[in-house]
Amino acid sequence: MVSEKWLPKSEPAAPVCIGNGDRGLKVSDFIDRPNNAWKSEEVLNYFCEEDANVILQIPLPISPVKDKRVWHFTTNGEYSVKSGYELALMMKRNGLLGVGGSGCPLCGDPEESVIHLVAKCPFARAVWFSSPLQIDSQVLECSSFIRWWSELMQRGQGFQDAVHWRANIAYLVWGIWKSRNQAMFDHCRADPVWVMQQAVRSAAEFLEAYKEEESEMEILCADRPSKQVQWQAPTSGSCGGLRARSAIVMESLALRAGVLLAMERGFRRVIFEGDAKGLIDALSGRGTSREDIQLLVWDILQLCNSLFTDFSFVFVGRKCNSVAHELASKGYSSGICSNWIAIPPLWLWDLICREKGCCT
Ligand SMILES: [Zn+2]
């Protein structure tokens, strides 16, 4: 159909018709088959001048070819994940990603944004308020999703069981997101109370499994020599106590602290990323490690073997690791030790987003 996006402009576009165009026309109606040419007069009369010129420049094949869909964003017309990803990044930069253009599918509000979906939408508000957490999602800071989320998490810190709080929040957000997709693609609107009940049930199942894992972990830890696994959370300011004679030793010490933190959080499958190539290579069994880190390498491997079911060490280029560097310099200058398990601090958020765009 001529009203579809078939013009090869900078991005696929539907041609603009002038006058009262007949929307039932097909592209083939504008092709003079016997002469294998565009019906230029019809094209110029039917479409705006700019689009008519684009159409007239499209070469027509001599022998008949079946219509097929092509991917506009690669030179060979074949879709590739890379090109899709690049397009998504470009759309995100232009604020187009996730915007269907027809407003919120749950309430019909013209605003279709993440913050609307999770906080402002009457559907979401009903989900939050009917939940055992009884949150009025709109009284939280709603200027951006991350601010809203931060405030939500901060409230959870006063809650007796923070894991319980976070699990419920995560499943409620997921429930809202699934309802939005259902409304958008299946055209059916779920009942907010039903969505809430499903989310709360899933959170309870998760918490049950989590508790089992935790007690399993305690048993595992109890079986091991206490020297290896006993770790005291650093008291405020004590991170400044990590001192080393060289950068790579410091990196090794930091990694070992990371291993212990992962253990403390109860993680079983872990990937450690770092930009100290010598250290990552040594841990991955590539080449011989420097003498001054040999013991630390051995130590880290011992811990990992005894604590995790699956673990690996991955080298990440320095320029893709600016978050770590920012954290290191903050930690160094302030000497204050903080852990952010659920959400990062706001001052780090932009950097994380930028880095996410940099690494695939
Ligand atoms: Zn809505």
Instruction: Parse the chain into domains and list their residue ranges.
Output: 114-219, 238-358
CA of 318 to the centre of ligand 1 (A): 41
pLDDT at 170 over 50: yes
pLDDT at 115 over 80: yes
pLDDT at 225 over 60: no
Give the pTM: 0.39
- Please, is 346 exposed, middle or buried when counting C-beta atoms within 10 Å of its C-beta (0-12, 13-18, 19+)? exposed
CA of 106 to the centre of ligand 1 (A): 5
Q: What is the pLDDT of residues 119-150, one digit of tens each?
A: 999 999 999 999 988 888 878 887 888 888 88
214 near 266, Cβ under 8 Å?
yes
State the pLDDT at residue 87: 84
State the pLDDT at residue 23: 64
pLDDT at 239 over 60: no
State the pLDDT at residue 203: 92
CA of 152 to the centre of ligand 1 (A): 20
Mean pLDDT of 245-250: 75
CA 136 to chain CA centroid, Å, is: 26
CA of 118 to the centre of ligand 1 (A): 9
Fold of the 238-358 domain:
Nucleotidyltransferase; domain 5 (3.30.420)
pLDDT at 183 over 70: yes
Mean pLDDT of 40-52: 86
CA of 175 to the centre of ligand 1 (A): 14
CA of 345 to the centre of ligand 1 (A): 28
Instruction: Select the more confidently predicted residue: 47 or 246.
Output: 47
In sequence order, what DSSP letters do the residues of 139-200 get, joined into one string? GS--SSHHHHHHHHHHHHHTSS-HHHHHHHHHHHHHHHHHHHHIIIII-----HHHHHHHHH
Q: What is the pLDDT of residues 53-93, one digit of tens each?
A: 888 878 777 766 778 777 888 776 778 888 888 888 887 77
Mean pLDDT of 4-25: 76
CA of 163 to the centre of ligand 1 (A): 28
CA of 193 to the centre of ligand 1 (A): 16
CA of 125 to the centre of ligand 1 (A): 10
CA of 50 to the centre of ligand 1 (A): 38
d(CA 166, CA 115): 18
**What single-letter DSSP state applies at residue 350?**
H
CA of 116 to the centre of ligand 1 (A): 6
Q: Which of 14-28, 189-203, 271-285 has the least mean pLDDT?
A: 14-28
d(CA 42, CA 60): 16
Strongest mean pLDDT among 192-201, 216-225, 321-330? 192-201
CA of 113 to the centre of ligand 1 (A): 9
State the pLDDT at residue 171: 95
Banded pLDDT at 219 (limits 50, 70, 90): low
pLDDT at 9 over 60: yes
CA of 248 to the centre of ligand 1 (A): 51
As a whole number of Å, the CA-based R_g of the chain is 28
Banded pLDDT at 245 (limits 50, 70, 90): low
CA of 110 to the centre of ligand 1 (A): 8
State the pLDDT at residue 175: 95
CA of 326 to the centre of ligand 1 (A): 37
What percent of the chain shows pLDDT beyond 70? 81
Whose CA is closest to 58, among 40, 85, 75, 80? 40
Residue pointed to by tokens 């869909």: 69
State the pLDDT at residue 303: 86
